[in-house]
Structure 1
Amino acid sequence: MDSETLKNFLVVAREGNITRAAQFIHITQPTLSRQMQNLEQELGRPLLIRGKRHLSLTPEGQLFRKRAEEILELFQKTRSEIHTSSEIAGAIYMGAGETDVIRQISQVASQFAQLHPQLRFHIRSGDGEAVREMLEKGLVDFGLVYGPSDPGKYKVVPLTPVDRWGFLLPRTHPLALYPELTPEQVHDQPLILSRQAMLTGIPQEWLGRDLDHLHIAGTYTLLTNGAKMVAGGLGLAMGLDGLINTSGSPLCFRPCSPPLLDTMSLIWKRGQLFTPAVQGFLDLLLQNFGKTE
């Protein structure tokens, strides 16, 4: 198995047809078919369900597609790091959830890029669990996460900007008349909650009720989807301020009262060896956001 085989498999998976995939890759159809068969023999599992006109992936094929994408991305990242190992150039990869802190991070990145114009910054989105998984696999250099992180595995930089929790709701909703919302006002409302926040207990603690005693109309991973659920009339979405632009929107944001605040941390693996580009960016972040815990 080599990188060319992985790339060709991804083209086959995308096209769903050996002939079209072969035309795209510029090889013959029999050659590509034989390559896919050899791959399946090497893995010892069928990856493709072959129909008369269309191919689909077996469960093993779906898993292999995900892993092939990760392997190729890690290969590209490693090649870039080796190529630029002695200079401030290349790419910096960060995993992050939804947060307005990205604006502050981008300001620091802009300063750094002005000094080193050959740099490129890449952000991969995901919740805390997904970001930590990306770190473990080496797909990102840093992660932005909420909540505690294992100090034995990660170094942590709590970021000084503080995020404020509140509710997205239609401007026509009776509660939109209030500048802030209390737990008592939303106890009996249909709520749309963050799955990650529910796992950490943030909404339950502020609302003073466990999940069984709340009217949970839906959950979200990305607040952009939560906002669409609100717009569709499903309920009120509890989320962080600054993520959804409500200017000129039929939705509005009302902060929690008493205030519910959250701090995002920058984390990276202990013992991680960085390229000069990544280390330089890390040093600049530390200057702006404080010391490691």
Structure 2
Amino acid sequence: MEIRVLRYFLAVAREENITRAAERLYISQPTLSRQLKELEEELGKKLFIRGSSKITLTEEGRLLRRRASEILDLVDKTADEFKALDEINGGDIRIGCAESQGIGCVMHAAASLNEEYPNIRYHLYSGGTESVIEHLDQGILDFAIVVEEMDPTKYNGLKLPYRDKWGLVLPKTSPLAQKKTIQVEDLKGLPLMCSRQALQAEMAAWLGDTFADMNFVATYDLVFNAAIMVQEGFGYALTFDGLVNTDELSDLCFRPLEPELLVPMYIIWKKYQVFTPVASLLIEELKSRFLPAKEKNPEGKFAE
């Protein structure tokens, strides 16, 4: 299976039309059709359903689209890394980010590094922890910023000087908006929304035995969408402070949980990962900021 043919396949999947895909790829339509037919023969599966004006993917085609995207992301990243080996003044750094204001700690370090190396290019991937870690494990990302300590046998990392505070995003018209904090009893009977990961981790632990009494009506990956659902009266969103606009012009407000629920943030990377020069520079910049002097070490273990 050739990389070139995977690029052809993805182009057709995007365009849903062989003629348009061929034009974008600057090859002839018969050549592209032949390459796709040979790909189907190689895999032994039908990848497309060819209609009169549109091509759609079969179930096998959707699987290949997902895998081809991952493969090509890794191929492109590898090419960038080899190019960067001779490019100490610049290069690409890919970081996966959980939703948190704590990423400001890392971005401040990155901005400082860019003063000396202005040609560094940062590529940010936003998503839930599971998705971010999957991309880190696949080698697509150099680093991941997460809100939980990861397996130290698989990852190295640094604890960031920031802790996220959990609370409830709710309409300002809600009676609960008059309270300074939200307690467990306040949540009973409310239609609640929470991130999928937190629902099984921090929130499950905080609620304890009352977890079964709660009415979770939705889960989310990125809280921006959940905030819109709150605005539309769908429910109340459990999330971190500072992620939803709750200024005086907003219809929403944030109230922290009581007892207080704080979670730490980490920036992690795979053990034994070989970094490009610029990625190594970022690690050293982060260590100089976030590792206590007595704990500075080349392994970059999770430090308080």
Q: Name the SS of the counterpart of 2:170 in structure 1.
A: strand
> Could you tell me how far apart the structure 1 residues matched to 2:233 and 2:136 are?
37
Amino acid in the other structure paired with 1:2: E
1:95 corresponds to which residue? 96
Does residue 116 of structure 1 match 2:117?
Answer: yes
1:244 corresponds to which residue? 244
Q: Name the SS of the counterpart of 1:209 in structure 2.
A: helix
Q: Tell me how far 1:85 sits from its aligned partner.
A: 0.7
> Could you tell me how far apart the structure 2 residues matched to 1:215 and 1:79 are?
48
Q: How does 1:5-24 map to 2 (within 5 A)?
A: 5-24=5-24
Q: Name the SS of the counterpart of 1:254 in structure 2.
A: strand
Amino acid in the other structure paired with 2:29: Q
> Could you tell me how far apart the structure 2 residues matched to 1:8 and 1:204 are?
46
Per mean C-alpha deviation after superposition, the further-off stretch among 64-73 and 271-280 is 64-73
Amino acid in the other structure paired with 1:12: V
Q: Tell me how far 1:289 sits from its aligned partner.
A: 2.1
* Per-residue deviation, residues 123-165 of structure 1 (Å, max 9, x unmatched): 1122121122111110001111122311111113111111100
Q: How does 1:270-289 map to 2 (within 5 A)?
A: 270-289=271-290
Q: Which runs of 5+ in 2 are unaligned?
A: 296-300
Q: Which runs of 4+ in 1 moved over 6 A?
A: none
> Could you tell me how far apart the structure 1 residues matched to 2:119 and 2:81 are?
13
Q: Tell me how far 1:88 sits from its aligned partner.
A: 3.7
Percent identity of equivalent pairs: 42
Q: Tell me how far 1:256 sits from its aligned partner.
A: 1.0
> Could you tell me how far apart the structure 1 residues matched to 2:50 and 2:209 are?
52
2:44 corresponds to which residue? 44
1:225 corresponds to which residue? 225
Q: Which runs of 5+ in 1 are unaligned?
A: none
Amino acid in the other structure paired with 1:199: Q
1:215 corresponds to which residue? 215
Q: Tell me how far 1:210 sits from its aligned partner.
A: 4.6
Does residue 168 of structure 1 match 2:173?
Answer: no
1:139 corresponds to which residue? 140
1:77 corresponds to which residue? 77
Q: TM-score, normalised by structure 1?
A: 0.95
Per mean C-alpha deviation after superposition, the further-off stretch among 41-50 and 168-177 is 41-50
The question of whether the paired residues in 2 share the 8 Å contact of 1:187 and 1:207 is answered with no
> Could you tell me how far apart the structure 1 residues matched to 2:205 and 2:3 are?
49
CA RMSD of aligned residues (A): 1.4
2:298 corresponds to which residue? none
> Could you tell me how far apart the structure 2 residues matched to 1:121 and 1:176 are?
39
The question of whether the paired residues in 1 share the 8 Å contact of 2:105 and 2:161 is answered with no
